[in-house]
């Protein structure tokens, strides 16, 4: 099966949000093919040759980014996340949060 190549250009790195050594979550100003510029937040992995590979992520156009910034501005979302934070359960590798409270 032929693999489609995603055409993109990172115009400006904004921030590395996390780095485990084998994967990084980054925010970048990016352009995909001939589409308008957007903020791209995604995980990147590093293969054995040291090449970065794009993983799943989210892109926000300027209007979407402005809407998200408005929602996050007062800090209530962070407070809500803290409210649902629980210690990881024994034997569970990922904690996606509990919604049954």
What CATH number is given to the structural domain containing 23? Answer: 2.30.31
Please indicate, yes or no, if residue 90 is contained in any of the structural domains.
Answer: no
Please indicate, yes or no, if residue 86 is contained in any of the structural domains.
Answer: no
Please indicate, yes or no, if residue 44 is contained in any of the structural domains.
Answer: yes
The average pLDDT across 81-97 equals 68
Please indicate, yes or no, if residue 87 is contained in any of the structural domains.
Answer: no
Q: Answer whether residue 54 shows pLDDT above 80.
A: yes
Number of domains comprising the chain: 1
What is d(CA 63, CA 45) in angstroms, rounded to the nearest whole number? 29
User: Percent of the chain beyond pLDDT 70?
Assistant: 83
> With contact defined as beta carbons under 8 Å apart, do 98 and 80 qualify?
no
Domain that holds residue 43: 8-61
Residues contacting 37, CB < 8 A, separation 6+: 11, 29, 30, 31
What is d(CA 100, CA 89) in angstroms, rounded to the nearest whole number? 15
The average pLDDT across 15-22 equals 92
């Amino acid at each position: 099966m032929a693999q489609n190549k995603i055409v993109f250009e990172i115009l400006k790195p904004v921030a590395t949000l996390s780095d485990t050594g084998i994967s990084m979550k980054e925010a970048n100003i990016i352009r995909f093919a001939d589409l308008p510029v957007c903020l791209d937040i995604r995980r990147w992995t590093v293969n054995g040759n040291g090449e970065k590979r794009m993983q799943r992520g989210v892109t926000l156009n300027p209007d979407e980014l402005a809407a998200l910034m408005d929602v996050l501005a007062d800090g209530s979302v962070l407070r809500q996340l803290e409210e649902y934070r629980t210690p990881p359960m024994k034997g569970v590798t990922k904690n996606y949060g509990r919604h049954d409270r």
